[in-house]
């Protein structure tokens, strides 16, 4: 081939010197014979430093990526691949790329090509190597890869389903949350029309929010209700969704972020339950009693505790009977703690502490708007005690309508909230307590016979303190230690005269009264022996005066009757009987029903 006239006047050395690409040449002795200006600018090493050198240029090659020119000089073309696996050769040209550390501390990503220079006899006389800086592109690719990895991690960790669809409504992205919510893997969903996962009756409404012709600047559309989706198995569920148009590489897409509304409702219910449980647990923590507070040496109480342990392992309802202050709540907690339900909560309700018109709401809950003042849905004690135990104290105070609902829960383990139609199912063990004679209440028509027989499966009669007088000194010393520690006072014992006084007293208020007496004495007594003021002795037979005294219920009935007559039976209003008695009108009406008061 004839030579071009210009090539005759421009030797190869001069062409290499002025190439815009970094290049150098090594001779057969591995000495630098050409080091062009671009190479000097890239590496920071001048031609004066490099020409004739065999060492300087080696510094920015790693052991894993030795200089290609060096390899080519030391190797024949036949075994080049075995010496350097990542090098490829075509027409005696080798290629590699790698991060290289330059003498001035810079790390550059270099793309390197090397080729052999042979003489007329085919012998290798030199090697030429070019180096191109691709650091910026490499960093951009690395940043892009990291960004994609971060985005992938974000999509994978998102709690909401994130779905992207194209203009044909085909799914192009389906994150892990979407796979969980729709119960199918992303490989199944991608490529399918989004309508596959929307309930048919909601399709028209759904498609109204997807408009590929609207400008991208349009605000996102949030649809909080009205849409329902369906899982891969066909199960439907309500959703809330956000629709956002976007454009990627001139392709219009829609991103749909949706959430299973049922998940949010369940989460809210769990939060409400935890908050209610926290309140009841705090009450238990603040309460001064626990199952270990039982102090007794009497045969009667040992028999009661033996029955407590026997019945605790069952789900049988327990009816605790006894006078006020005998420790019915303490026994209820013991039954719960000894039962398989001890890891769950024991919820308690005092039926006498609430007006009759509120007891049903407390027990069974209510829906928003069920009655005046019901501004939001509220769960009742049965829902809260689900899986655990419900202790109902003063059971005899329940209204007849509440008794009917209670019977249904005991028989069917289901009920509805006030104002609601949804039937709720629970698993609750009931422990009830009362100081009334329920058999007498049944005869008087104030307590349902069927409920009484349902609760009376396992009655436990708790003896009064006067029936176990041997426990009085034990309990007195127990309370002495407790309140002395609480009030930071020191006592060695109770004085003999005080113990005798305690022993001779009737204890109508039972253990609760004894506890209050000891606490008061600890406050008043200087010590070291506890001195207790003289208490009224036991009255073995009621006197004629005592027999003639009216009961509290009779006094209350008479007082209400007098007030009603004075107000001409006007209950409500500023001049009504309820205002005079300082009672809510509904509470007064409930008391009238309870006491058998009616206008005749």
- What is the domain-level CATH number for residue 478? 1.10.8.60
Give strand pairing partners of 268: none
Task: Give the model's pLDDT for residue 4.
Answer: 47
Residue 393 inside a domain? The answer is yes
Tell me if 126 sits within 8 A of 33, measured CB to CB: yes
- What is the domain-level CATH number for residue 132? 3.30.450.20
Residue 151 inside a domain? The answer is no
SS3 23: strand
Q: How many CA atoms lie within 13 A of 290 on its CB side?
A: 7
Which of these, 184, 180, 143, lies nearest to 158 by C-alpha position?
Answer: 180
Tell me, yes or no, whether 245 and 311 share the same domain. no
Give strand pairing partners of 97: 111
Tell me, yes or no, whether 110 and 76 share the same domain. yes
Q: Which helix (H) or strand (E) holds 562?
A: helix 552-566
Burial 149-184 (b: 16+ CB within 10 A, else e): eeeeeebeeeebbbbbbbeeeebbbbbbbbbebbeb
Residue 362 inside a domain? The answer is yes
Tell me, yes or no, whether 435 and 347 share the same domain. yes
Tell me, yes or no, whether 517 and 549 share the same domain. no
> E strands along 404-525, which residues?
414-416, 423-425, 429-434, 458-461, 493-494
Tell me, yes or no, whether 424 and 324 share the same domain. yes
Residue 278 inside a domain? The answer is no
Residue 507 inside a domain? The answer is yes
| Other CB atoms within 10 A of residue 211 CB | 13
Q: Pinpoint the alpha helices (H) of 51-184.
A: 68-74, 80-83, 135-157, 176-182
Which of 139, 174, 204 terminates a domain? The answer is 139
What does the alpha-carbon distance between residue 222 and residue 244 come to, in Å, rounded to a whole number?
A: 9
Tell me, yes or no, whether 417 and 499 share the same domain. no
Which of 139, 172, 189 terminates a domain? The answer is 139
Backbone angles phi, psi at 119, to 5 degrees: -85, -175
Distance of CA 424 to the CA centre of its chain: 22
- What is the domain-level CATH number for residue 419? 3.40.50.300
Tell me, yes or no, whether 562 and 525 share the same domain. no
What is the 3-state secondary structure of 526-545? CCCEECCCCCCECCCCCCHH
Tell me, yes or no, whether 426 and 559 share the same domain. no
What does the alpha-carbon distance between residue 13 and residue 36 come to, in Å, rounded to a whole number?
A: 9
Residue 535 inside a domain? The answer is no
The pLDDT tens digits along the chain (600 residues) read 455 454 455 566 777 777 888 888 888 777 888 888 888 888 888 888 888 876 655 545 554 455 665 566 555 433 433 333 333 344 457 788 888 877 777 888 888 888 887 777 777 778 888 888 888 888 888 777 666 666 666 666 567 888 888 988 999 888 888 888 888 988 898 899 988 898 888 888 888 888 777 665 556 787 777 788 888 888 888 888 888 888 777 788 888 888 887 776 776 666 666 666 655 555 554 444 445 556 777 888 888 888 999 999 999 999 999 888 888 888 999 999 899 998 888 888 888 887 777 788 888 888 887 777 777 778 888 888 888 999 999 888 888 888 888 888 888 888 888 888 888 888 999 999 998 888 888 888 888 899 999 988 899 999 998 888 888 888 888 888 988 888 888 888 888 888 888 888 888 888 888 999 999 988 888 878 888 876 765 444 444 444 456 777 778 888 888 888 888 888 888 888 888 888 888 888 888 878 878 776
Burial tier of 217 (Cβ tally within 10 Å: 0-12, 13-18, 19+) = exposed
Tell me, yes or no, whether 404 and 515 share the same domain. no
Which structural domain range is residue 562 located in? 545-595
Tell me if 236 sits within 8 A of 229, measured CB to CB: yes
Task: Give the model's pLDDT for residue 506.
Answer: 86
Tell me, yes or no, whether 377 and 434 share the same domain. yes
Which of these, 477, 519, 512, lies nearest to 327 by C-alpha position?
Answer: 512
Task: Give the model's pLDDT for residue 528.
Answer: 85
Per the structure, the count of domains in the chain is 5
Give the sign of the dihedral formed by CA 44, CA 49, CA 52, CA 58. negative
Which of 530, 555, 571 terminates a domain? The answer is 530
Which of these, 473, 535, 526, 529, lies nearest to 501 by C-alpha position?
Answer: 535
Burial tier of 388 (Cβ tally within 10 Å: 0-12, 13-18, 19+) = buried
Residue 281 inside a domain? The answer is no
Residue 539 inside a domain? The answer is no
Tell me, yes or no, whether 296 and 407 share the same domain. yes
Tell me, yes or no, whether 550 and 521 share the same domain. no
């Amino acid at each position: 081939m004839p030579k071009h006239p210009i090539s005759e006047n421009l030797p190869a050395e001069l062409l290499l010197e002025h190439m815009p690409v970094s290049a150098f040449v090594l001779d057969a002795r591995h000495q630098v014979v050409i080091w062009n200006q671009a190479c000097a600018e890239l590496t920071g090493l001048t031609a004066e430093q490099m020409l004739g050198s065999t060492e300087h240029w080696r510094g920015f090659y790693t052991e894993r990526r030795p200089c290609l020119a060096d390899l080519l000089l030391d190797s024949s073309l036949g075994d080049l691949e075995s010496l350097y696996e990542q090098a490829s050769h075509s027409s005696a040209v080798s290629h590699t790329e790698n991060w290289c550390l330059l003498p001035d501390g810079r790390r550059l990503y270099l793309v390197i090509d090397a080729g052999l220079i042979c003489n007329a006899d085919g012998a290798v006389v030199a090697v030429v190597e070019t180096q191109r800086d691709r650091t910026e592109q490499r960093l951009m690719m690395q940043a892009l890869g990291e960004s994609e990895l971060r985005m992938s991690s974000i999509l994978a960790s998102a709690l909401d389903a994130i779905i992207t669809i194209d203009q044909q409504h085909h799914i192009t992205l389906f994150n892990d949350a979407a796979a969980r919510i729709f119960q199918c893997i992303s490989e199944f969903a991608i490529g399918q029309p989004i309508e596959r996962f929307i309930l048919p009756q909601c399709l028209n409404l759904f498609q109204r929010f997807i408009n590929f012709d609207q400008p991208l600047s349009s605000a996102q559309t949030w649809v909080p209700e009205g849409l329902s989706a369906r899982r891969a198995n066909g199960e439907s569920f309500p959703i809330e969704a956000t629709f956002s148009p976007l454009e990627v590489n001139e392709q219009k897409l829609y991103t749909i972020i949706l959430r299973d509304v049922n998940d949010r409702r369940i989460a809210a219910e769990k939060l409400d339950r935890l908050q209610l449980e926290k309140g009841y647990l705090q009450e238990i923590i603040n309460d001064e009693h626990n199952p270990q507070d039982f102090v007794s040496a009497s045969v009667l109480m040992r028999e009661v505790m033996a029955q407590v342990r026997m019945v605790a392992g069952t789900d049988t309802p327990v009816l605790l009977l006894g006078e006020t202050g005998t420790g019915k709540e303490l026994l209820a907690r013991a039954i719960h703690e000894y039962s398989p339900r001890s890891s769950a909560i024991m919820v308690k309700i005092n039926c006498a502490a609430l007006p009759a018109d509120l007891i049903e709401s407390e027990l069974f809950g209510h829906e928003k708007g069920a009655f005046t003042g019901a501004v939001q849905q509220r769960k009742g004690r049965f829902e809260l005690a689900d899986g655990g135990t419900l202790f109902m104290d003063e059971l005899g105070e329940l209204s007849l309508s509440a008794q009917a609902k209670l019977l249904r829960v005991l028989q069917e383990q289901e009920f509805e909230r006030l104002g609601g139609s949804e039937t709720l199912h629970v698993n609750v063990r009931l422990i009830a307590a009362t100081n009334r004679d329920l058999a007498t209440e049944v005869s008087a028509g104030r307590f349902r016979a069927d409920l009484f027989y349902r609760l009376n499966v396992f009655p436990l009669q708790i003896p009064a303190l006067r029936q176990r007088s041997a426990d009085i000194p034990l309990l007195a010393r127990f309370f002495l230690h407790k309140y002395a520690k609480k009030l930071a006072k020191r006592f060695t014992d109770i004085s003999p005269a005080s113990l005798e006084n305690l022993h001779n007293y009737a204890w109508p208020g039972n253990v609760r009264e004894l506890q209050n007496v000891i606490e008061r004495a600890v406050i008043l007594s200087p010590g070291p022996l506890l001195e207790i003021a003289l208490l009224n002795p036991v009255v073995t037979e009621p006197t004629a005066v005592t027999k003639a005294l009216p009961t509290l219920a009779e006094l209350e009935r008479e007082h209400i009757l007098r007030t009603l007559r004075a107000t001409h039976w006007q209950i409500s209003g500023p001049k009504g009987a309820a205002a005079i008695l300082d009672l809510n009108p509904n509470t007064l009406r409930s008391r009238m029903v309870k006491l058998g008061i009616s206008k005749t």
